Structure 1
Amino acid sequence: MPASYAGLRKEACGIREFFLYSVQEGLLFGILALGVFITFRCLNFPDLTVDGSYPLGAAVFALTMYRGYGPVAGVVSALAAGALAGLFTGILHTFSRIPALLSGILTMICLYSINLRIMGRPNISLSENLGHRTIFVILRDAFPTVPEVYVRFLFLFALLVVLKFLLDAFLQTEIGLSIRATGDNETLVATQGINPDDMKLIGISLSNALVALSGAMFAQYQGFVDINMGIGMVISGLASVIVGEVLLRGKTIFVMTLQVIVGSVVYRLATAVALNWGYSIGFKPYDLKLFTGILVIVILSFPVLKEKFGKA
């Protein structure tokens, strides 16, 4: 009986740690999802820059660390780099009048080469022999008696809460309201003396700054940077936004950003469960993108299918 109890306790601890690690990733990608929310929901701008600005944030952070600067400087540099990437996409769209989708694709393609230039090779390890420790290593050393999984969880939760409330406050300022109005009715905004192109530039820059921040934080979390880490990130972010909208109802800014965070955590939990227990039905790690794509297709198609079959 004691041996059985010990086995159950060990299994329970394993499940708890699995849950915490999955939630941690959900919180990390919640930062990216907030960025996707700004472009796709507030601006109604389908920005594909995300797949390039996400690894850009990680690459710039790694370069900053290798140059001898600390993690704070690396995070700030990643934010700035992401904002510049978004600004470039915005300029292509507003000044060159290139369609939104194509603007993002062009920037994403350019960023692949730029990221490789920054990194110097396809992947970089963020080992502790750089002379500076990452934020998660600093936190681990600061609280040696607390399990690392709990330290990381509390830090990421606090960081995301701060970012959420800062974004809530910004979107209720005059500029934030103008950004949201631009996404709703660009022509009406122009009649009010507001330049919609300026609002797009600000919104897209802010969005990609958050995406790059997510990339920089995830690079520290996993301990390395990979040139291909951004593939499919825009779909993952969009999936988080959509899942959150299905789970929670409300149209206030507070609820909408909460939807994004909850959606990100639930989406990451779902993918983690699929990866860990889906082997019984033949699910493989490389099926994750297929899983994400099907999930987004089903959720987006559901209202239309419901209406058609409901009438029938």
Structure 2
Amino acid sequence: MSMYSLWGALEIGLIFGLVALGVLISFRILRFPDLTVDGSFPLGAAVAATLISAGFDPFAATLAATLAGALAGAITGWLNVRLKIMDLLASILMMIALYSINLRIMGRPNVPLITEPTVFTLLQPEAVSDYIMRPLTLLVAVVAIKFLLDWFLGTQIGLAIRSTGSNPRMARSQGIATGSMVLVGLAISNALCALAGALFAQSQGGADISMGIGTIVIGLAAVIVGESIFPSRRLLVMTLAALVGAVVYRFFIALALNADFIGLHAQDLNLVTAVLVTVALVIPLLKQKLRIKKGVR
């Protein structure tokens, strides 16, 4: 695998690390099966690409995309909390609605950004190649977001969100408005996913209506792979594991698709994903069985 492919895998892995953090909040912390991700990821891309192509500042467009994702997550929570729609069904309804909303925002199936300025081109120094500078820029941004998220989840509101996911009945008995915490948690989760979509569109040169297909699977794969590498319940380690899992996942994908002796092609991406997730799920079970056998002996 070439050095260019390695830097590219790191770049995409860091972007999907934000998706992994969002999935971590919804699935692991809130215990909410949120499929809105498949709609909020392309929502962020659609908003950012449309605004940038209309002449808006890329940083302002990225912020607007993040806020749009937060709104989508909050609506999913509202459907569940206020209208009492089952959590999984509420997220599916929002995901379906976002497909049409994204088409409305873009006005067409895709919006190119090949000749438009992006956050990466604005931060690009002439002395450094873009395929190196983009991953480095993303690394700084993602690490900063990781520590900001760690800090937030340690605040009073963050602890209330974590309590809502761990034991909602106990949280309510302590005076926590669990419904509001679900709305806030899902808003943050989908804001991160929309931010990832906005950055992905600017990195890959455009937004496409189909770019969100399978995003939730990638996010879950990153979380599961990360947990198999760093099996810990500490928050700082969990967020780090999600980021590392996303990068490792993309490296394995790049390695599998670029290894000529395996014979895989781009259309085999979902197959590789399924195999990686299966392996990540099986490894902890095998470790547990080995511990049991050693204990018996």
TM-score normalised by L of structure 2: 0.93
d(CA) in 2 for partners of 1:67, 1:280: 45
Aligned to 1:139: 123
> 2:52 matched to 1:68?
no
Deviation at 1:284, TM superposition (A): 2.1
Measure the CA separation in 2 of the matches of 1:135 and 1:32.
19
Task: Give the match for residue 180 of structure 2.
Answer: 198
Superposed CA RMSD: 1.8
State whether structure 2 residue 161 is matched by structure 1 residue 179.
yes
**1:261 paired to 2:248:** no
For 1:68, what is the secondary structure of its paired residue? coil
Any residues of structure 2 matched to 1:83-232 within 5 Å, and which? 83-128=70-115, 130=116, 133-140=117-124, 143-232=125-214
Distance 2:129 2:288 in 1: 50
Name the amino acid aligned to 1:121.
Answer: R
Cα distance between partner residues in 1 of 2:122 and 2:284:
47
Relative to 1, partners in 2 of residues 1:303 and 1:253: Cα closer, same or farther, differing over 3 Å?
closer
CA shift at 1:304, angstroms? 5.2
CA distance in 2, matches of 1:250, 1:307: 15
CA 1:262–1:305 in structure 2 vs 1: closer, same or farther (change >3 Å)?
Answer: closer
Q: How many angstroms does 1:21 deviate by?
A: 1.6
Give SS of 2:92's match: helix
Equivalent residue in structure 1 for 2:267, among 286, 294, 300: 286
Q: Aligned in 2, Cα 1:300/1:165: closer, same or farther, shift over 3 Å? A: same
Work out the CA distance in 2 between the residues paired with 1:229 and 1:283. 21
Q: In 2, distance between residues paired with 1:304 and 1:88? A: 37
State the secondary structure of the residue aligned to 1:170: helix
Following the alignment from structure 1 to structure 2, what is the Cα–Cα distance between the partners of residues 249 and 241? 11
Q: Deviations 1:217-239 (Å, cap 9, x if unpaired)?
A: 01000001111000000010011
Structure 2: segments with no counterpart, 5+ residues: none
Percent identity between matched residues is: 51
Look up the SS of the partner of 1:280 in the other structure.
coil
Distance 2:248 2:286 in 1: 24
Deviation at 1:301, TM superposition (A): 4.7
Q: Is the 8 A contact 2:67 2:191 kept in 1?
A: yes
Q: Which residue of 1 aligns with 2:23?
A: 36
Deviation string, structure 1 residues 31-67 (Cα, Å, up to 9, x no partner): 1111111101110111000000000000000121133
Show the counterpart of 2:281.
300
1:56, 1:291 → 2: CA distance? 26
1:268 partner amino acid? R
- Consecutive unaligned residues in structure 1, runs of 5 or more: 1-13
Separation in structure 2 between the aligned mates of residue 94 and residue 285 of structure 1, nearest angstrom: 40
Work out whether residues 222 and 246 of structure 2, in 8 Å CA contact, stay in contact via their aligned partners in 1. Answer: yes
Structure 1 distance, partners of 2:245, 2:23, is: 12
Q: Match of 1:43, as an amino acid?
A: L
- 1:15-26 aligned at under 5 Å gives the runs 15-26=2-13
Name the aligned partner's letter for residue 295 of structure 1.
Answer: L
Residue 6 (structure 1) aligns with: none
Matched pairs, number: 293
Aligned-pair CA distance for 1:302: 4.8
CA drift of 1:297 comes to 3.4
CA 306–162 in structure 1, closer or farther in 2 if over 3 Å, else same: closer
Quote the residue 1:244 is aligned against: 226
Contact 2:161/2:181 (<8 A) preserved: yes
Amino acid corresponding to residue 272 of structure 2 in structure 1: F
2:278 partner amino acid: I
Which stretch has the larger CA shift, 249-258 or 78-87? 249-258
Take 1:226 and 1:246, find their aligned partners in 2: how far apart are those partners?
32
How far apart, CA to CA, are the structure 2 residues paired with 1:221 and 1:40? 27
